Amino acid sequence: MSRKPLIAANWKMYKTPAEAKAFVDAFLPLVAGHTRDEIALFPSVTSLATVVEAVAGSNVLAGLQNMHYAEEGAYTGETSATMLKAVGATHTLIGHSERRQYFNETDSIVNKKLHTALIHGIVPIVCVGEHLHEREAGLTGSVLLAQLKGALADIKPADASSIVIAYEPVWAIGTGKTATPEMAIGAHMIIRAEIANILDSSVARAIRILYGGSVKPDNATDLLDQDEINGALVGGASLKPDSFASIVKY
């Protein structure tokens, strides 16, 4: 099964363009010639053009942390798919738990954004994951199922090959509490089975499912060595070039 791992840096609301450029300048030599995994950086919107320019010609890709579903319009503060592509970016995160939590992003909005990303040929990383109280109540499976059903509504299997899913349990994000490989594998298997139901089994086999939530250099190997874990979405530990490079080279 050739699911090339994707190791992605979600910088959240950190780094000015100058800081982003300094990161890339230090990071590229650390991962030069690394072809086992895809590598992508997700800076803030104001640093995107700088990062795209700085990674040009390298083995590192760039995307946005969020994108609006509309083609254009009166949506103050938002960024369209066309704008993302015009800058030269290729990827977007969709439905990160922080967007769901603080910006009221619902499964239906996630679904609209996914349709727009696919229409524009932008690689979407759709984030799903349960809260601690849901895990403790035994609801992890049903939460993931509902999020996937919502996100993938009316997506055709033939259009789905570029979709990446990131399993990010909310209780593991920014807390230092990582899911064990067993917990992540369990969730990834639920996600893959559900994608087979909603789309089809060949999409489910091929789709990459990343793990995110307190991935650090010292736990990356345990997680990423698993066949079911096809990469990582890294927050805090992606902010320093050496730390993110050592995760990439787990």
Active site residue ranges: 96, 168
- Alpha helix positions (H), 105-177: 107-119, 132-136, 140-151
Pattern of binders to ligand 13P over 141-180, x per CB under 6 A? Answer: ---------------------------x----xx------
Q: Which is nearer to ligand 13P, 140 or 219 (CB)?
A: 219
Pattern of binders to ligand 13P over 197-236, x per CB under 6 A? Answer: ---------------xxxx-----------------xxxx
| Contact between 240 and ligand 13P per CB under 6 A | no
Site for ligand 13P in 74-133 (CB under 6 A): 96
Question: Is the Cβ–Cβ distance between 93 and 42 less than 8 Å?
Answer: yes
Token pair of 106, please?
């619902």
Say how many residues touch ligand 13P, by CB under 6 A.
14
Q: Which is nearer to ligand 13P, 107 or 168 (CB)?
A: 168
Q: How far is the CB of 239 from ligand 13P (least distance, A)?
A: 9
Site for ligand 13P in 8-27 (CB under 6 A): 10
Q: How far is the CB of 159 from ligand 13P (least distance, A)?
A: 24
Q: Which is nearer to ligand 13P, 134 or 168 (CB)?
A: 168
Q: How far is the CB of 197 from ligand 13P (least distance, A)?
A: 26
What is the number of the residue whose Cβ is closest to ligand 13P? 235
Question: Is the Cβ–Cβ distance between 166 and 126 less than 8 Å?
Answer: yes
Q: Which is nearer to ligand 13P, 15 or 203 (CB)?
A: 15
Q: How far apart are CA 46 and CA 51, in angstroms?
A: 10
Q: How far apart are CA 182 and CA 248, in angstroms?
A: 21
10 vs 33, 66, 241, CA distance in Å?
22, 11, 13
The DSSP element (H or E) to which 78 belongs, if any, is none
Q: How far is the CB of 91 from ligand 13P (least distance, A)?
A: 13
Q: Which is nearer to ligand 13P, 159 or 222 (CB)?
A: 222
Collapsing DSSP states into helix, strand and coil, what is residue 38? Answer: strand
Q: How far apart are CA 166 and CA 232, in angstroms?
A: 8
Report which of 163, 145, 187, 174 is spatially closest to residue 236, judged by C-alpha positions. Answer: 174
- Alpha helix positions (H), the chain: 17-31, 48-55, 81-87, 97-102, 107-119, 132-136, 140-151, 181-198, 201-206, 220-224, 241-248
Instruction: By CB under 6 A, name the binding residues for ligand 13P.
Output: 10, 96, 168, 173-174, 212-215, 233-237
